[in-house]
Structure 1
Amino acid sequence: MISILELRHIIECGFLPLSCTCTVNPDGSLMIKVFEPSSGRVDLLVTAVTTENLTSSRAIANLIGELRAEMAACPAMLHEGDGAVRGLTEPSQR
């Protein structure tokens, strides 16, 4: 199993050259915020990503790929609420 620190680091590095902060919510889910480092403009905010299925490098890469695709499809859109990012086909992975 991947530690939460390592998981956060992998996700944060997955969005370079943009900046990403990945924080742990009190319930153990993750909040992922991707933003432009020079302007601070937020490109993506997902508030409740569950970690139970993020147990392999493939699962983490799939999550990052889905979030990057969502960012490309809906620029500068914030995603909040239940943690589900609209438009993704496999919400069970979050």
Structure 2
Amino acid sequence: MFLSALELRNIIESSFLPRRCQCSLSPELKMTVRVYADGVTDTLELLRTDIDARHLNSCREIHELIAGLRTDLAHHPVVTEHRQVAGKAR
């Protein structure tokens, strides 16, 4: 990863505003992303787990992850799915 975990979380979380988004990163660099209906409620709209953050080494890869999450949010909300990024199985 070329960004710190804090920078990566900030980029991803802010990309879903005005919705509330929470990212967490394990010591093994597996990311979990939760997107809520709005900034106030705890209504979960999207949950993705086991995202391999080791492959987020460029702006393009981060953008592809965010675009994929937005697509999932629009088409398959609240479905837990294990996914990898950057040309890997999704």
CA distance in 2, matches of 1:55, 1:93: 17
TM-score with structure 2 setting the length: 0.82
Paired AA for residue 7 in structure 2: E
TM-score with structure 1 setting the length: 0.79
Cα RMSD of the aligned pairs, angstroms, is 2.3
Paired AA for residue 66 in structure 1: G
Determine helix, strand or coil for the equivalent of 2:40. Answer: coil
Contact persistence 2:32–2:47 (CA under 8 A): yes
Q: 1:5 to 1:64 in 2, by over 3 A?
A: same
Structure with more strand by fraction: 2
Q: Percent identity?
A: 34
Q: Which runs of 4+ in 1 moved over 4 A?
A: none
5+ residue gaps in structure 2? Answer: none
Determine helix, strand or coil for the equivalent of 1:44. Answer: strand
